[in-house]
Amino acid sequence: MADIIQLLPDHVANQIAAGEVVQRPASVVKELLENAIDADATLIKLIVKDAGKTLIQVIDNGKGMSATDARLSFERHATSKIRSAEDLFSLHTKGFRGEALASIAAIAHVELKTKQEQDELGTQITIEGSDVVSQDIVVTPKGTSISVKHLFFNIPARRNFLKSNTVEMRHIIDEFHRVALAHPTISFAMYHNGSEMFNLPESNYRQRVVNIFGNKTNEKLVPVEETTDVLKISGFVGKPQFAKRTKAEQFFFVNNRFIKSAYLNHAINSAFDGLMKDGSHPTYFLNLTVDPKSIDINIHPTKTEIKFDDEHTLYAILRSSVKHSLGQFNIAPVLDFEYDTNLDTPYDYKDKTASTPTIEVDRNYNPFADHNVSGKQTTAFKKQTLNNWDSIYVGLESKSTREEQDFSEVEFESEEKTESLFKNDSASEATYSTYQLHNKYIVSTIKSGMLLIDQHRAHQRILYENLLKSMTIKEAVSQQLLFPLELHFTPTELTILKQLKEDLEATGFIFSNFNKESIDIIGVPVNVPDSEVSIILEQLISDVEQEVPDSNFSATDLLAKSMAKSLAIKTGQSLTNSEQEHLVNSLFACKEPNVSPTNRTTFVTIDVEELDKKFM
């Protein structure tokens, strides 16, 4: 039998490795930015076109590379970060595997320009699909400029899996935020399709957070500082009243490297226990500094997951530190046993004894005595009154007769009796054909058996079709607000809202102004309370950021789904019989009553025969 095992060609092996390292344009952005940081750059520029599908360029003023290093950097497992396996447990740099540039060059057109400070001329290398097209000597400033064009040009199947520009751009911005937050002492700038999106100067950590997420963020931050033998914690958590309904502003950095850890995230949630509404997530920007030997970074291709030696200790320290900060800054309720010094006895009176108060009584005081006349006159007046006592009742009889005549002519206005819209008598209640089960399902009878409706999903379907109709015909009814509603968002979130402004106005929203960090709303759709507006818009932004729509992505459809999800009746909400019947009738008046907007079943039927089988 012939041999069937063979070594893969280098370009094929690089493409397979690229499947692990390069998942989307944001993966390229992450690797290039981290390389620039490892090169000791103090100024880094990121230039993106068409959400990274056409161009991703990173320019830095770092150390640069020699001609030999520039050529070797595109070989597999070529790195300047480690020399032996022991170095993996004392890493102080970002990249160390030597796979990133080789993988990127295998699936794109790459152009590299680099020069070291002591050299007069630099090196330019052009690579297309792992093939070195040219290597020349060029005039270029100190540092490195690397351009990645036409990503996945030789793997069309991978390119077809990329999402819309909005979604891919959101992933790129997320990676940019993670790198920029981890290194506030480095200046960053980002440009998309020729327009500047971020310009972050060198600053401290608090200023970097505010520069990225807006000036309004400054008042939301609570500092967290703790130093132990095992762990050093620094950074900020958000105040509970500003908690978001998404996990967008949650950042953990371990030794200046962004990580994802559900275990440590649970520690933060535990510290906020009882301080936030259900469904809200805390905001945090926390830097954790640990011994590099106590962590293992090399467990995930993207290096976003880390294995700790003692997670339980880190959990306890992190939870206690956050709780202490919330209590120290009077965010969490605390028991204060300190007394108010203003209630102390003044210094001059501390040695004096209290004197017994004296009470003086005027024993000659008579409340019935007339002080304007003498006693003799008073006595004479009393005698005169007693002698003419019958004159007191003169005229009373005629007066009472007159009053009776007056009252006989008074007409009393009786209130009209109106029947209530929904009768509450026992006879009418028996006519209702619906019943609410556990404040979640509506049970209704049909000819063949029984109908069970999920009230939340059913209401979503009703609202979804109504919103789509309003946005299509653009005749939505809006209710004016007495006072304009000002809502604050990050620059990225405002960009999304501007893209959806026309569709939002078609649903009934009226915007008076779009500022750099806030929007003013003077009208909202009917039946939408003011307190729900911010929740609806936050949920909408989250859906646009987190959803993975296909090529037929429709902003109108996504907007209708998001608003229907926010405004729909929640599970656990009690409904009256009339509301139950109205919900049932409205559901079956929809075009597709069987499924919710997210294609989940809204109701199920149980036949009488099926019920009979349960009793056999």
Rounded alpha-carbon distances, angstroms, from residue 332 to 240, 243, 329: 9, 14, 8
| Residue 508 Cα to chain centre, angstroms | 23
Q: For position 164, what pLDDT does the model report?
A: 80
Q: For position 55, what pLDDT does the model report?
A: 94
Please write the tens of the pLDDT for every residue from 348-400.
666 777 778 888 888 888 877 765 554 455 555 555 555 666 666 666 555 55
Domains observed in the chain: 10-202 (3.30.565.10), 212-328 (3.30.230.10), 435-603 (3.30.1370.100)
Count of beta carbons in the 10 Å neighbourhood of residue 244: 20
Q: Rg for the chain (alpha carbons), in Å?
A: 38
For residue 475, the 8-state DSSP code is -
Torsion of CA 68, 73, 74, 78, to 10 degrees: 110
**Is the CB of residue 46 less than 8 Å from the CB of residue 29?**
yes
**DSSP codes of every residue in 539-593:** HHHHHHHH----TT--HHHHHHHHHHHHHSPPTT----HHHHHHHHHHHTTSS-T
Give the Cα separation of 459 and 464 in Å (integer).
8
Contact residues for 122 (Cβ-Cβ < 8 A; gap 6+): 64, 113, 114, 115, 116, 137, 138, 139, 140
Q: Look at the block and give the residue holding tokens 């200790």.
A: 313
Please write the tens of the pLDDT for every residue from 113-127.
999 999 999 999 999
Q: For position 430, what pLDDT does the model report?
A: 46
Q: For position 161, what pLDDT does the model report?
A: 83
Identify the bridge partners of residue 520 per DSSP, sorted by sequence position.
486, 513
- Encoding tokens for residue 614? 């349960």
For residue 245, the 8-state DSSP code is S
pLDDT beneath 50: ranges in the chain = 374-375, 423, 425-430, 548-553
Largest CA distance in the chain: 150
Helical H segments across 345-393, by residue range? 375-387
Please write the tens of the pLDDT for every residue from 473-501.
766 778 888 888 888 888 888 888 888 88
